[in-house]
Amino acid sequence: MDVGWFLAASALIFTLGAAGVLTRRSPLVILLCVELMLNAANLSLIAFARMHGNHDGQIFALIVMVVAACEVTVGLGVIVAMQRRRLPIDVDEMQELRG
């Protein structure tokens, strides 16, 4: 199978993830969409690894997976803390950074 197809799929999934980040209001779902984007990048990496014939891409993809796991941990920890303090779980409510 042409590696190009995989890359196209990766691009599609990436954009879907980006659209999700921009559109959804629940931080949980936003994090899920970020996961989508990361996975799309992983797919690209694996595809290129296959194309070049060395393992660098695969190792990179593994590390990306580790990073994604850490990021999910911390992000969910933040959401749990928000829930504990009875803050609304809605990114539009958190406007403290407003200038």
Partner 1 sequence: MGAVLFFVAATGAVAGAIGVVVLRNPFYSVLALVGHLLSLAALFLLLHAEFVAVAQVIVYAGAVMVLYVFVVAYVGGQAEPLGPRAGHGLKAAAAVLGGMLFILLSIATLGSGLGFMDTRGAVVPPSFGSPTEIGALLLTKFVLPFEIAAFLLLIAAVAAVVLARRRGGLSAVEEQARYSAMDMLRPTYTGTMAEAVGDRRELPKSPPPEPDEDDRS
Partner 2 sequence: MNSIRLFAWLTLLFPLAGCIAIALVGRRLPARGAGWLGTGALALSFASAIGALLALLDQAHDERQIVAVAWDYAHSAGIDAQLSLLVDPLSVFMILVVSGVSMLIHLYSISYIASDAGYVRFFAYLNFFVFSMLLLVLAGNFIVLIIGWAFVGAASYMLISFWYRRGTATRAGIKAFVINVLGDVGLVLGTLFIFKHVGTLDFLGTFEAARTEFAPGDADLTAGLILVLVGAFAKSAQIPLHTWLPDAMEGPTPVSALIHAATMVTAGVYLIARMHPLFELAPAAADVGAIIGCLTLLVAGTIAIAVTDLKRVIAYSTMSQIGYMIMAVSAGAYVAGMFHLMTHAFFKALLFMAAGSVIAAMAGQQNLDRMGGFRKTMPFTFGCMVIGGLALAGIPPFSGFFSKDEILLLIGDRGGWYWILYVAGYVGAFLTGIYTFRMIFRAFFGEPVPEARELEGGHLHHAEVPTNPATGEVEDTDVGFPGPEHHIAEREPTMKIAMGLLALLAIGGGVLQIPRVTHVIDHFLEPTFHDSALYERHPSDGLITFGLLLGAAVGLAGIAVAYLIWVRRPQIAVAARARLAPLHKLFVNKWYFDELIDTLVVRPARWFGAWAQQTFERVFVNGMLVGGTSGVVRAGSSAVRAAQTGFLRYYALLIVAGLVVLTFYFLMNA
Residues that bind partner 2 (CB under 8 A): 18, 21-23, 25, 30, 91-92, 94-99
Query: Binding partner 1 by CB under 8 A: which of 78, 94, 96, 98?
Result: 78
What tokens appear for 46 in the block?
Answer: 């694996």
User: What is the closest distance, in whole angstroms, from the C-beta atom of residue 54 to partner 1 in the complex?
Assistant: 8
Residue 87 interacts with, from partner 2, partner 1, none (CB under 5-8 Å by kind): none
Alpha helices (H) along the chain: 3-23, 27-52, 56-84
Q: Is 2 in the site for partner 1 (CB under 8 A)?
A: yes
Q: Are 18 and 30 in contact (CB under 8 A)?
A: no
Residue tagged 């990436």 (tokens)? 14
Torsion of CA 5, 7, 13, 14, to 10 degrees: -160
User: What is the closest distance, in whole angstroms, from the C-beta atom of residue 95 to partner 1 in the complex?
Assistant: 9
For partner 2, the closer of residues 15 and 54 by Cβ is 15
Q: Is 92 in the site for partner 1 (CB under 8 A)?
A: yes
- Nearest C-alpha neighbor of 8 from the set 40, 35, 54, 46: 40
User: What is the closest distance, in whole angstroms, from the C-beta atom of residue 22 to partner 2 in the complex?
Assistant: 5
